[in-house]
Amino acid sequence: MMTPPLLHGFDPVVDDRARMLILGSFPSAQSLVAHQYYANPRNAFWPITSELFGFDAGAPYESRLAALRAQGVALWDVLHSCRRVGSADSAIDPKSLVVNDFTELFASYPSITRVYFNGAKAAQVYHRLAQPDQRLHFRRLPSTSPAHATRAGVKLAAWREILPS
C-alpha cells in the first residue's frame, strides 16, 4: 500500500482582538484545494457563525474572516501536518500527527482565554498531544462537518455558547 502524502494545514486566522480560538482537527480535502477554512459547502461552520455573529455566510471568504476577527474569534486547526486519504478524521494516519505550536500562539495572543473545539477529534488530539494552558477555558462543541449527522438547529444551539455572556 502506498503511503499517503504529507499534508500541511493553514496559518492561524488571528489578530490582537482575539478572545477565543476555534480549533478544528485538520482542513478537509476541499479546504486544502481552496486554501480556505471550512470550504466544503455542506459544512455548517459558516452558516452557524454567520447566524451567531450577524454576517453573510455567502460573503467572500476574506469578508467572513474579517467578520470573525472583528468579533474576537481566531481560527486554527490542532494539526500542523498529517498523512490522510480523503477528508475523514478517521482516515488520518495516527503515526503522522504533528500539532501546531500552541505555546507560541498563546504567548503571542494572551487575550485568548477560551478555546472551542469543533468536534471530538480536535479535542482528543489536542489534549493528547498539545500542552494545555491551564489558564484557558476549553470546551468541545458538536462538529460542523457534514459527516457529523446532527440537526442544524441542535448544532446551532450548542454553538451559542461561544457568544459573550
Which domains are seen in the chain, by residue range?
6-162 (3.40.470.10)
Please compute the mean of the pLDDT values over residues 8-25 and round it to a whole number: 98
Residue 17 has pLDDT above 70, yes or no: yes
Residue 99 has pLDDT above 70, yes or no: yes
pTM: 0.93
148 — pLDDT class (breaks 50, 70, 90): low
φ, ψ (nearest 5 deg) of residue 142: -60, 140
Residue 93 has pLDDT above 90, yes or no: no
φ, ψ (nearest 5 deg) of residue 76: -165, 180
1 — pLDDT class (breaks 50, 70, 90): low
Instruction: Answer whether 92's CB lies under 8 Å from 38's CB.
Output: no
Task: Enter the DSSP assignment of 92.
Answer: B
